[in-house]
Amino acid sequence: MTVAASPAAARLQTAITDRAWFDRPALEVAPDLLGARLVHASPTGVVAGRIVEVEAYAGPEDRAAHSSRGRTPRNAVMFGPPGHLYVYFVYGMHHCINVVCGSGSKPEAVLIRAVAIDEGTDLARARRGWSKIGAPLPLAAGPGNVAAAFGIDRSLNGADLTTGPVWVTLGEAPPRIVARPRVGVAYAGDWAALPWRFLVADDRHVSRR
């Protein structure tokens, strides 16, 4: 008799625990994250879903990247080993989740902009302040909504993605990926026009902008 693996066991089997996977340029990691799953096993429960939209930030030369300003207490995680979470607070109201990557010690990162949540939906709704009643809506469209739905804040800044409690797990590559300019980086001049936002084509869970 074959016994099906528990969801927790399946996650551990498919979690990306090899730091070398993250030790690559952001422009390689970003499209590879599409179709992979973001998982947060918190004390209050598990929320997980398929990553459908990301943005690449290519290090100090990229004027839109936080690392372009040099190392600060806020962005120090970007200058450490790849495969960690960089979580920052913006506009005095939203947290944003980034996967630290980059070849060697180059401080690059990928912002997770949208996730199609399919596990822990009730918990994600409660975190967003939504009722369980009504039609299912995208719970994690936009970077601030991703962090809110997954219960991730600055307390998880620097968390190791290879050991948890936040993981990236393997998934199916999407059939078609679309590249667009990044959002909200007009201050970066010509860098703002680069098509470094990657999203799953025709997926209703991507951000609307």
Pick the closest to residue 39 from 196, 159, 183, 154 (CA basis): 159
Half-sphere exposure of 118 (CA within 13 A, CB side): 11
**CA dihedral sign, ordered 85, 144, 115, 35:** negative
Would you say 159 and 168 are in contact if contact means Cβ atoms under 8 Å apart? no
Q: What is the pLDDT of residue 136?
A: 61
List domains and CATH numbers for the chain: 7-199 (3.10.300.10)
**CA dihedral sign, ordered 191, 30, 204, 157:** negative
- What whole-number distance in Å separates Cα of residue 164 and Cα of residue 143? 20
Mean of all residue pLDDT scores within the chain: 91
- What whole-number distance in Å separates Cα of residue 162 and Cα of residue 87? 16
- What whole-number distance in Å separates Cα of residue 37 and Cα of residue 15? 9
**CA dihedral sign, ordered 127, 125, 94, 22:** positive
pLDDT in tens, 43-64: 999 999 999 999 999 999 999 9
pLDDT in tens, 144-163: 999 999 999 999 999 999 99
